[in-house]
Structure 1
């Protein structure tokens, strides 16, 4: 496993040239090749800047993506999305949710945009000594959340109502995708999965109950499909997971504490757990004492990517030491989430984004 002491979650604010090029592409003004050229240059600039600011693990900022999760999940056969409008915090937003439309599988012989994106990032990272590229993908639970719980669809075109078969195929498909990334040189993979924090929010668990499911049943789905996905984890590959309480244009989507899910999650065969702890909404660190019994690294997300106020070194150090007293020495530091879970980005500017990265790196003297 990689020695991780400080790290980022993945996404960065999109520069204006990316936003303009993506708008031009979707308006039919430029072709995909022209869009990719703009993205490639912006990603190269981003990697160079990450290294200059002292990051050891770099990402492509998810600059090719519209959504943090759906762009990856669209790599799977049998998966599709539905589009609709939803009012969030008084603003009407264009939303996509995933749905199962056939047998879920992953064909490594297909031309996968996310694999191409990884290959480009990997080629950039190799130019710098001591720097490792990290790929962030969305997790298998997100397919179950969107189809069965968000959309509330109980039937599927291929599986009928047999969720067990769905779980088996999703897990097997993720095994193939993980192996494909490994074969392309990926040695550090982060699997993002906010599904766990859906299940600590009372409003959402009430919705789950109204659909005829219960919390324990759904957590068992998540545990089973996540374990299946990691069943044949390649040797020498570090695989961590990240979850927060949702992040849509900088606004949280869920609330609640981790007490009811930490023990279940801690049993999953991940090498690291990136957990949101940037404000009082996260509660105490106590639920994660269970990680002392594992070899996994607890990556505590103390720096907010959605609040423009810059944290202080002293406060981060104090809270990090509080977390360390609970989880033990296998601990690292990160922001609580990415800076742009969707392409519009969070409600902060690039200057603050990089000040927060600098704060993170400056903390390495006590990590």
Structure 2
């Protein structure tokens, strides 16, 4: 069980100095060490601000990342990305998609930027009594989504068409990564995995069918790899999951209700489930009645990080009560997603971002 009443999902709007430094690094104007120094200063400032605004669990805002998921997945041997330009709403967006290049493996004996990032966050969080550093990583399903369902690659190096062998190796790689994070002091891990909401979107399901897969088959992949990834986890390590319907520059990517996936996800032994519920697109809380009486905490994502309008405290109180009536007493409150799943960030400003955080913390009076 998560011993929380309110929490954040993870990412924050990148400050201007990080955006400038990342552009300079991309252009070869500064070194990686110089970029890291800028990131360090910004993360240190962010952690101080998170603590000052009343958050008990803090993140590094994903300030070292371009993407919420790919920067983590690149820590695995046998996985890489390609860059694509995709038109969306009349705008050309530069994106990356990942694919499998060989045996998926996590080597705890080599240097990992994401582990170094956690080391710095852990050190900064330790400056403030009662504050815990939370590490956010993307989930194992995202490897399958990008390779098989986005790019449509069926024959992959090393595995050929052997999806079962691939699932086994992905899970073992995650087991080793989780143990490595634990060895570096991580006691609260959040695994972000939007793959589930791909599979409730009718348009995307048409693509899945066109590739020759059945929804039930893909969901079975997801459940098995996610469950096995948690095998052997340290007993005193809290591991939660988060999923929303996509958040690219503040725009949702998918739509649909959780009815068909909640019964499957809820069987995975996570300690907490952060679920998007900031508008009518999410439907009712009823699919999560399966969690009532369990040790898992349902974290209701009622505060939007996409919409700049500030939610009403009374509306939040009412919807929180609605959720609690369905899922029981193991319930907490959070924003529905991070404020910047990609480095460009959502369509809100920093002032609004912190007003949303203050609103979240103020809800402790009724949760």
How big is each residue's C-alpha offset from its partner over 1:255-286, in whole Å with a ceiling of 9 and x where there is no partner? 00000100000000000000000000000000
Partner of 1:337: 337
Residue 311 in 1 paired to residue 311 in 2?
Answer: yes
Partner of 1:153: 153
CA distance in 2, matches of 1:121, 1:17: 19
How big is each residue's C-alpha offset from its partner over 1:22-80, in whole Å with a ceiling of 9 and x where there is no partner? 00000000000100000000000000000000000000000000000000000000000
SS at 1:92 equivalent:
strand
SS at 1:94 equivalent:
strand
Change beyond 3 A, Cα 1:323–1:287: same
Alignment of 1:288-327 (within 5 A): 288-327=288-327
Cα distance, 1:293 vs structure 2: 4.0
**Alpha carbons 2:106, 2:177 under 8 Å: kept:** yes
Cα distance, 1:294 vs structure 2: 2.0
Cα distance, 1:2 vs structure 2: 4.2
**Alpha carbons 2:9, 2:338 under 8 Å: kept:** yes
CA distance in 2, matches of 1:128, 1:231: 32
Partner of 1:209: 209
Cα distance, 1:308 vs structure 2: 0.5
CA distance in 2, matches of 1:353, 1:253: 21
Cα distance, 1:89 vs structure 2: 2.2
Partner of 2:179: 179
Residue 280 in 1 paired to residue 280 in 2?
Answer: yes
Alignment of 1:355-366 (within 5 A): 355-366=355-366
Alignment of 1:206-285 (within 5 A): 206-285=206-285
SS at 1:33 equivalent:
helix
CA distance in 2, matches of 1:89, 1:114: 33
CA distance in 2, matches of 1:205, 1:89: 21
How big is each residue's C-alpha offset from its partner over 1:132-166, in whole Å with a ceiling of 9 and x where there is no partner? 00000000000000000000000001100000001
CA distance in 1, matches of 2:2, 2:325: 22
CA distance in 1, matches of 2:95, 2:146: 12
Q: Which runs of 5+ in 1 are unaligned?
A: none
Partner of 2:61: 61
Alignment of 1:35-184 (within 5 A): 35-184=35-184
CA distance in 2, matches of 1:84, 1:262: 32
Residue 5 in 1 paired to residue 5 in 2?
Answer: yes
CA distance in 2, matches of 1:87, 1:165: 35
SS at 1:109 equivalent:
coil
How big is each residue's C-alpha offset from its partner over 1:280-332, in whole Å with a ceiling of 9 and x where there is no partner? 00000000000014210000000000000010111100000000000000000
Matched residue pairs, number? 367
CA distance in 2, matches of 1:184, 1:2: 21
Stretches of 4+ aligned residues off by more than 3 angstroms: none
**CA RMSD after TM alignment:** 0.6
Partner of 1:188: 188
SS at 1:64 equivalent:
coil
Cα distance, 1:233 vs structure 2: 1.1
CA distance in 2, matches of 1:282, 1:76: 33
How big is each residue's C-alpha offset from its partner over 1:153-207, in whole Å with a ceiling of 9 and x where there is no partner? 0000110000000100000000000000000000000000000000000001110
CA distance in 1, matches of 2:107, 2:148: 24
CA distance in 2, matches of 1:314, 1:209: 43
TM-score (norm 1): 0.99
Cα distance, 1:88 vs structure 2: 1.7
CA distance in 2, matches of 1:171, 1:61: 26
**Alpha carbons 2:274, 2:300 under 8 Å: kept:** yes
Q: Which runs of 5+ in 2 are unaligned?
A: none
SS at 1:290 equivalent:
helix
CA distance in 2, matches of 1:89, 1:240: 34
